[in-house]
Amino acid sequence: MKDLKILSRKSEEDSIIVDVNGLKIGGNSIVVIAGPCSIESIDQALEIAKAVKSFGAAIFRGGAFKPRTSPYSFQGLGVEGLKILSRVRDETGLPVVTEVMDTRDIDVVLKYSDILQVGARNMQNFPLLKELGKIRAPVILKRGFMSTIEEWLLAAEYIALGGNTNIILCERGIRTFERMTRNTLDLSCIPIVKQLCRLPVITDPSHATGVREIVKPMALASIAAGADGIMVEVHNDPDRALSDGFQSLTFSGFKDLMDGVVKISRAIGRGIAGCLS
pLDDT at site 73: 75
Q: What secondary structure letter does DSSP report for 5?
A: -
pLDDT at site 276: 45
| Inter-residue contact 81 to 39 (CB < 8 Å) | yes
Q: Helices 42-55 & 251-267, crossing angle to 10 degrees?
A: 30
Average pLDDT, the chain: 95
Taking only Cα atoms into account, the Rg of the chain, rounded to an integer number of angstroms, comes to 17
Phi, psi angles (nearest 5°) of residue 31: -105, 130
- Cβ partners under 8 Å of residue 10, min gap 6: none
82 closest CA partner among 58, 106, 103? 106
How far is it, in rounded angstroms, from Cα 74 to Cα 234?
17
| Inter-residue contact 141 to 154 (CB < 8 Å) | no
Q: Which helix (H) or strand (E) holds 8?
A: none
Q: Which helix (H) or strand (E) holds 190?
A: helix 189-196
183 closest CA partner among 170, 199, 171, 168? 171
Burial class (CB in 10 A: 0-12, 13-18, 19+), 206: buried
Q: Helices 42-55 & 79-92, crossing angle to 10 degrees?
A: 40
How, if at all, do strands 18-20 and 23-25 pair?
antiparallel
CATH class of domain segment(s) 21-264: alpha beta
How far is it, in rounded angstroms, from Cα 173 to Cα 160?
23
Output b/e per residue, 18-46; b: 16+ Cβ within 10 A. bebeebebbbebbbbbbbbbbbbebebbb
pLDDT at site 275: 60
Q: What secondary structure letter does DSSP report for 58?
A: -
pLDDT at site 244: 85
144 three-state secondary structure: coil
Please give the distance of CA 57 from its chain centroid, rounded to a whole number. 12
pLDDT at site 277: 40
pLDDT at site 1: 84
Q: Which residues in the chain show pLDDT less than 50?
A: 276-277
Helix ranges (DSSP H) in 39-179: 42-55, 79-92, 106-112, 126-132, 149-161
> pTM of the full predicted structure?
0.95
